């Protein structure tokens, strides 16, 4: 069953002027706009998956790395529902601090230029961290991608990462946002056909078995992507349907938790505010020129060996989470093809 958002206009606090008010979903209150954001970064990240039995951490925590050391660090937006492009400005939408929605899934179709095999390296997203109203709470957010789309048959094959932001203040007077580059830790898979969905799961703890314990109260900020918001060149598109976790908030989705987020003003079709980026190397031999002298020769092999022996992030040639002999073989293959 799909639930429809009905739009009125009203004055709200924490908002950038007049905003759309939503009265079609019982118990949510008005749809507001907030322009006051606080940037945070995760302290550590860990791989996670979702199956039929829920979300689970499936690997070790690793420190949130610095991407500046990578040989190829040019990023390009593949999907923008985060307000990087488009003519609608003035902050994100949300449903007031009394609304809790700890698990959301929205569809995504990436731009035509996206490399479906390369994976997403960075995500930008925003959220309200309400907790229990005051004090602090540990904030762990799972970011996942999958091939199926919300409000249709679910593949239950989400793959992604847990982002541990440590202890955050509840209701800080605005929303939190993060621009998270996984650096050498890994990537998010791109949906096989370029169309699938992304999910955000808000948690406060990972149990000893790897399961996720729901946050006390949180919700994603809302934005949109596609031509309707005034920028035909905006990368990616999405529809108006989103799966929420509010009837009840139990860490799962039911058939009556599918909502139509069409509103009567730009950007028209809302969804959880998120943007995905890919790493792009215009020159495939840029990595082989390891010492950066514009010539691929034996000096680059020696420079790579020094970096590899020191286990520097840049020496992680194959993009997994470990610098080992596979990275040495990876570099040699690239170097031989480019010299």
Same domain? 184 vs 83: yes
Domain boundary among 279, 295, 311: 279
Range of the domain at 194: 38-279
Total structural domains within the chain: 2
> 191 and 81, same structural domain?
yes
In a domain, 23, yes or no: no
**pLDDT tens across 172-211, in order?**
999 999 999 987 789 999 999 999 999 999 999 999 999 9
Q: From the CB of residue 32, how many other CB atoms can be counted at a distance below 10 Å? A: 25
Tens of pLDDT, residues 29-71? 788 888 799 999 999 999 999 887 889 999 999 998 755 445 5
Q: Which of 76, 270, 80, 113 is nearest to 194 (CA)?
A: 113
145 belongs to a structural domain = yes
For the chain, give the percent of residues with pLDDT over 90: 50
269/296 same-domain check: no
Instruction: Say if residue 305 is in the same domain as residue 196.
Output: no
What is the value of pTM for the model shown? 0.79
Model confidence at 229: pLDDT above 50: yes
C-alpha to C-alpha distance for 101 and 202, rounded to whole angstroms? 8
Token pair, residue 296, equals 């691929």
Query: Does residue 231 register a pLDDT over 80?
Result: no
The reply to whether 246 and 331 lie within a common domain is no
Same domain flag for 71 and 116 = yes
Same domain, 212 and 304: no
Residues 292 and 194 occupy one common structural domain: no
The residue from 245, 261, 279 where one domain ends is 279
How far is it, in rounded angstroms, from Cα 240 to Cα 260? 5
Give yes or no: residues 334 and 193 share one domain. Answer: no
From 256, 279, 302, the end of a domain falls on 279
Residue 263 lies in a domain: yes
Confidence of residue 11 (pLDDT cuts 50, 70, 90): very low
Residues 158 and 188 in one domain: yes
Q: How do the residues of the chain divide into helix, strand and coil, expressed in percent and rounded to 5?
A: 10, 40, 50
Rounded distance, CA 59 to CA 49, Å? 10
Same domain, 299 and 254: no
Task: Report the chain's mean pLDDT, rounded to a whole number.
Answer: 84
Do 327 and 333 contact (CB within 8 A), yes or no? Answer: no
Quote the pLDDT of residue 313: 72
First to last CA, the chain: 60
Cα torsion angle, 272, 276, 225, 20, sign: positive
Residues 301 and 271 in one domain: no
- Dig out the tokens for 116 from the structure: 């479906």
In a domain, 14, yes or no: no
């Amino acid at each position: 069953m799909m639930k429809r958002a009905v739009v009125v206009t009203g004055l709200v606090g924490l908002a950038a002027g007049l905003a759309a008010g939503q009265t079609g979903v019982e118990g949510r209150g008005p749809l507001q706009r907030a322009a006051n954001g606080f940037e945070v970064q995760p302290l550590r990240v860990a791989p996670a998956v979702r199956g039929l039995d829920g979300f689970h951490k499936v690997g070790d925590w690793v420190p949130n790395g610095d991407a500046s050391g990578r040989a190829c660090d040019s990023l390009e937006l593949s999907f923008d529902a985060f307000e990087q492009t488009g003519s609608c400005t003035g902050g994100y939408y949300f449903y007031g601090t009394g609304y809790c929605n700890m698990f959301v899934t929205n569809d995504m179709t990436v731009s035509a230029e996206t490399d479906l095999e390369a994976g997403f390296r960075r995500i930008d997203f925003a959220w309200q961290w309400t907790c229990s109203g005051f004090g602090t709470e540990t904030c762990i957010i799972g970011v996942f991608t999958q091939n199926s789309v919300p409000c249709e048959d679910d593949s239950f094959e989400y793959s992604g990462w847990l982002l541990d932001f440590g202890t955050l203040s509840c209701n800080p007077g605005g929303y939190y946002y993060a621009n998270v580059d996984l650096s050498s830790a890994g990537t998010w898979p791109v949906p096989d056909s370029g169309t699938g969905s992304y999910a955000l799961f808000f948690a406060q703890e990972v149990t000893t078995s790897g399961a996720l314990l729901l946050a006390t109260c949180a919700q994603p900020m809302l934005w949109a992507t596609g031509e309707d918001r005034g920028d035909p060149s905006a990368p990616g598109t999405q529809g108006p349907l989103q799966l929420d976790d509010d009837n009840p908030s139990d860490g799962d989705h039911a058939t009556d938790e599918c909502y139509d987020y069409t509103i009567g003003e730009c950007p028209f079709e809302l969804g959880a505010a998120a943007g995905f980026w890919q790493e792009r190397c215009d020159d495939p031999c840029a990595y082989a020129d390891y010492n950066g002298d514009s010539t691929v020769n034996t000096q680059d092999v020696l420079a790579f060996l020094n970096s590899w022996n020191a286990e520097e992030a840049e020496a992680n040639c194959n993009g997994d989470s470990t610098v080992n002999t596979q990275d040495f073989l990876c570099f040699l293959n690239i170097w031989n093809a480019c010299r």
